[in-house]
Amino acid sequence: MKLKKRLDCGLRGFHVAIIPKAPRSIRRRIQPKKTDEDGQVCAFELLASLARQILQEETESSSASSNASGNDHAVIGKDAVEDGRQYEDKPVKTECLDHGSCEVSAVVSESASLNCNQKCLLNEFPLVEEDDILERTLKTVGSNSSGKIGGDLKLEICKSNMLKGNFLSKAEGGSPNYRESCFNSVENAFEQLVETKAMETGGLNTATTRISKEPTELCMTFPALTDSDKDVKLPSCRDPVPNASFSRHRNDIKLGIRDDDDNLPRFNKFSNKLKVYRPVTRIGDRRIRKLLTSKYWKSAPKLKDFEHPRTGKQDGGMRPSHRKRKTCYNNEKCHRDVLYKWRRFYDRSSVETFDGGFSCESVTNSPEKGRNGNKSISGSMLQTNGMTSSAKGHQSSLRSKDSNVKFSIKSFKVPEIFIEVSETATVGSLKRTVMDAVTAILGGGIRVGVLMQGKKVRDDNRTLSQTGLASEDNLDTLGFTLDPSSVESPNLPLVCPEDPPLLLSDAPQLVARSCETPALDSECPNALTNLALLTKTETLVESNREQAISHTDILTDTTLPDSRALVAVPALNVEALAVVPLNQKSRRSDIAQRRTRRPFSVSEVEALVQAVEELGTGRWRDVKLRSFEDADHRTYVDLKDKWKTLVHTARIAPQQRRGEPVPQELLDRVLAAHSYWSQHQAKQQGKHQAAGVLKIQSPTDHSNGATTGNQL
């Protein structure tokens, strides 16, 4: 996989590199304009002229395709096509090429078409061409602007991008994919520039925001002109499920970033759309999970509790899994993606509230966290342990006059994330990687848990009032957790926001991931709405992670107060999706996730030791009931396993022990108890005596314990 990735990346890079900047003729034309008007108009003009130029050239090249040198445009188109074929094996070419041109927007439209097609076919595809073009354009402009680019450059770029977005929109019509494409391309271009400039946060933010909004609006505004149908026509989704989330990947394919090992959450929330529901039991969960396991990600703890018919159904299924995305540091595309994500992040975080009264600034943290994590990391395998499993945010809640309870979540911590990076990766790449991962998580693989007084509120069916969350007192102790969602099921039909299931009322269960497919843009808003509803209602009280649904979606959405932003998001999704390869294998892995790792704390170990001393080693269920009744995430199997490891740990040299050090005293007790119970398997029934004895025995004296046992 890695090799492949690299190749892909390299290939990509290569293409990009090779692609000629822009026809000189174009440049020439551009220059004058630039000089004359400068600024927005200039950008616009430039774009238009470029488009024209390209169109023309395209035509020419078509007629004389044999031309060795070929024009830039031709090359680009070709590449695009090739890519498509490479990955999809489907004849995209024809369609792409014959796609004519729409006047000014010819260039754009064409590339757009390509993209669109590619996407459709593959369900994932980057719009490299667009980017390239845009970049070129931008560069050209910049170079032409006789050195005085400075701060204006950005502005211009933004505008250009916007324009581009416009064109694209027009060309492509209302096609959702298209929109995304536009968005992406714009963003990418922009991001690149920004990146070059050093990623100044402020700048990025501002710029980003603008871009995201503008293009989106434009896109929406424009009526569908043409090729929308293309999307439909194309043999797009290989995926049985048309709406499969994968539909918009951007760089994935190129990068080939997908590996079976990756468990990172998908990047975009849309991607998680599909879910399979299944009845839930812990065991059941496990069963399912076992089928799909990823190395690094773990699903949230399972719930026990009864399952509500509905609930069970909903949460039981598989949820979208997260995939970890391996990084391609060397690839620019990757970087862009990362940036993109970053931007997304910021956008979200920046967005404050929406009428729901639920505001979430938290997202911002993630990025922060990511950075921090990076700092500390140095090996090839990084583990950012963001507070083990769940993070709670500080949130303050306000009780409104009406019966609604308003929550304000200040921040969320990002759940544990595993990142794998090459040793030679740069800090910058690491940062990006982390950011990427974080973003990905936030983008979708998260499930929200509700804590009240430190305890998880499990019953999703209860109302806030019933749960006590409607009362001021409890609100102070209200907490939320973000956990990686456990299972993802690609195969289920997505639930649209409009779908009934959407929560609300007392049985909030799950909110399906909404906007997924291409047509989604329109849907997104709904999601938002839903979110709002969710927020307002008791739905919030959710609980067990397993059962609980994944309000992830909601959560995610929540983050974006601005509907526009939401709409815009799809573009992002594309990228995110891109990460996930379509192949069955990966899919499969996506379905189940490994539970999140939750190292036992010393206190837990102590409790375990205590319980085992009293109950013996063969009664894990009793141990569970006795000492871990409230620890939903600790199953008796877990306890048994832990004991096993404890015994092992106690036997090895302290230097060889890893993780949080367990007090020697406890380890001694472990050995003592272990040896004792080993000799009294037959007597496990008569634990009373044993328990008493064990308690008495000296923690450090193994033989003593054994002896005592013998005496008994």
Smallest separation (angstroms) from DNA to the CB of 291: 6
Closest CA to 542 of 558, 518, 522, 521: 558
Does position 91 interact with DNA (CB under 7 A)? The reply is no
On whether the CB atoms of residues 413 and 387 are closer than 8 A, the answer is yes
Does position 608 interact with DNA (CB under 7 A)? The reply is no
Does position 564 interact with DNA (CB under 7 A)? The reply is no
- Choose which of 85, 588, 597, 683 interacts with DNA (CB under 7 A): 597
Q: Which residue has the tokens 């590449």?
A: 79
Smallest separation (angstroms) from DNA to the CB of 697: 21
- Choose which of 633, 669, 680, 702 interacts with DNA (CB under 7 A): 633
Percent of the chain that is helix, strand, coil (3-state, to 5): 55, 5, 35
Smallest separation (angstroms) from DNA to the CB of 391: 16
Do the bridges between strand 446-452 and strand 455-456 make them parallel or antiparallel, or are there none, so unpaired? Answer: antiparallel
Q: Determine whether 161 is exposed, middle or buried from the number of CB atoms within 10 Å of its CB (0-12, 13-18, 19+).
A: buried
Does position 588 interact with DNA (CB under 7 A)? The reply is no
b/e per residue 163-187 (b: at least 16 CB within 10 A): bbbbbbbbbbbbbbbbbbbbbbbbb
- Choose which of 638, 666, 671, 705 interacts with DNA (CB under 7 A): 638
Measure the CA–CA gap between 181 and 383, rounded to whole angstroms. Answer: 33
Does position 595 interact with DNA (CB under 7 A)? The reply is yes
Quote the tokens at residue 464.
Answer: 């806030």
Measure the CA–CA gap between 205 and 404, rounded to whole angstroms. Answer: 33
Which helix (H) or strand (E) segment holds residue 133: the answer is helix 128-144
Nearer residue to DNA within complex by CB, 247 or 596? 596
Does position 605 interact with DNA (CB under 7 A)? The reply is no
Half-sphere exposure at residue 315, Cβ-oriented, CA atoms within 13 angstroms: 41
- Choose which of 91, 606, 618, 691 interacts with DNA (CB under 7 A): 618
CB-CB neighbours of 492 under 10 Å: 22
- Choose which of 93, 406, 598, 683 interacts with DNA (CB under 7 A): 598
- Choose which of 636, 679, 683, 707 interacts with DNA (CB under 7 A): 636
- Choose which of 645, 675, 689, 700 interacts with DNA (CB under 7 A): 645
Smallest separation (angstroms) from DNA to the CB of 634: 7
Measure the CA–CA gap between 539 and 510, rounded to whole angstroms. Answer: 9
Positions 432 through 461 that interact with DNA (CB under 7 A): none
Measure the CA–CA gap between 621 and 48, rounded to whole angstroms. Answer: 72
Smallest separation (angstroms) from DNA to the CB of 637: 5
Closest CA to 197 of 351, 206, 322: 206
Number of residues that bind DNA (CB under 7 A): 33
Smallest separation (angstroms) from DNA to the CB of 248: 30
- Report how far apart, in Å, the C-alpha atoms of 552 and of each of 441, 564, 603 are: 9, 20, 31
* Helix axes 702-711 and 664-679, enclosed angle (nearest 10): 30
Does position 260 interact with DNA (CB under 7 A)? The reply is no
Measure the CA–CA gap between 441 and 417, rounded to whole angstroms. Answer: 9
- Choose which of 319, 333, 594, 687 interacts with DNA (CB under 7 A): 594
- Report how far apart, in Å, the C-alpha atoms of 284 and of each of 281, 463, 506, 633 are: 5, 27, 25, 15
Smallest separation (angstroms) from DNA to the CB of 616: 8
Query: Which region among 351-359, 633-641, 655-663, 702-710 touches DNA (by CB under 7 A)?
Result: 633-641
Positions 200 through 219 that interact with DNA (CB under 7 A): none
Nearer residue to DNA within complex by CB, 178 or 600? 600
Nearer residue to DNA within complex by CB, 178 or 620? 620
Closest CA to 137 of 167, 99, 175: 167
Query: Which region among 61-69, 396-404, 440-448, 611-619 touches DNA (by CB under 7 A)?
Result: 611-619
Which residues make beta-bridge pairs with 660? none
- Choose which of 170, 289, 462, 587 interacts with DNA (CB under 7 A): 289
CB-CB neighbours of 658 under 10 Å: 8
Quote the tokens at residue 167.
Answer: 């064109």
Nearer residue to DNA within complex by CB, 97 or 446? 446
- Choose which of 149, 631, 637, 691 interacts with DNA (CB under 7 A): 637
Nearer residue to DNA within complex by CB, 43 or 605? 605
Does position 299 interact with DNA (CB under 7 A)? The reply is yes
Measure the CA–CA gap between 84 and 82, rounded to whole angstroms. Answer: 5
- Choose which of 15, 325, 640, 702 interacts with DNA (CB under 7 A): 640
Measure the CA–CA gap between 514 and 516, rounded to whole angstroms. Answer: 6
Nearer residue to DNA within complex by CB, 299 or 395? 299
C-alpha triplet 621, 623, 625: angle, nearest 5°: 70
Query: Which region among 90-98, 365-373, 520-528, 591-599 touches DNA (by CB under 7 A)?
Result: 591-599
- Choose which of 283, 602, 652, 696 interacts with DNA (CB under 7 A): 283
Radius of gyration of the chain from its Cα atoms, rounded to whole angstroms? 28
Positions 64 through 83 that interact with DNA (CB under 7 A): none
- Choose which of 24, 148, 455, 644 interacts with DNA (CB under 7 A): 644
Nearer residue to DNA within complex by CB, 343 or 458? 458
Positions 165 through 194 that interact with DNA (CB under 7 A): none
Half-sphere exposure at residue 132, Cβ-oriented, CA atoms within 13 angstroms: 29
Does position 293 interact with DNA (CB under 7 A)? The reply is yes
What do you get for the CA distance between the two ends of the chain, in Å? 59
Smallest separation (angstroms) from DNA to the CB of 678: 9
- Report how far apart, in Å, the C-alpha atoms of 279 and of each of 306, 317, 448, 541 are: 11, 7, 19, 20
Query: Which region among 359-367, 476-484, 510-518, 620-628 touches DNA (by CB under 7 A)?
Result: 620-628
- Choose which of 210, 286, 399, 588 interacts with DNA (CB under 7 A): 286
Nearer residue to DNA within complex by CB, 287 or 585? 287
Measure the CA–CA gap between 253 and 15, rounded to whole angstroms. Answer: 14
Nearer residue to DNA within complex by CB, 499 or 641? 641
- Choose which of 34, 73, 275, 298 interacts with DNA (CB under 7 A): 298
CB-CB neighbours of 252 under 10 Å: 32
Quote the tokens at residue 682.
Answer: 């037959």
- Choose which of 622, 689, 698, 701 interacts with DNA (CB under 7 A): 622
Smallest separation (angstroms) from DNA to the CB of 78: 44
- Choose which of 205, 247, 331, 617 interacts with DNA (CB under 7 A): 617
Which helix (H) or strand (E) segment holds residue 457: the answer is none
Binding site for DNA (CB under 7 A): 281, 283, 286-287, 289-291, 293, 298-299, 592, 594-598, 600, 617-622, 633-634, 636-638, 640-642, 644-645
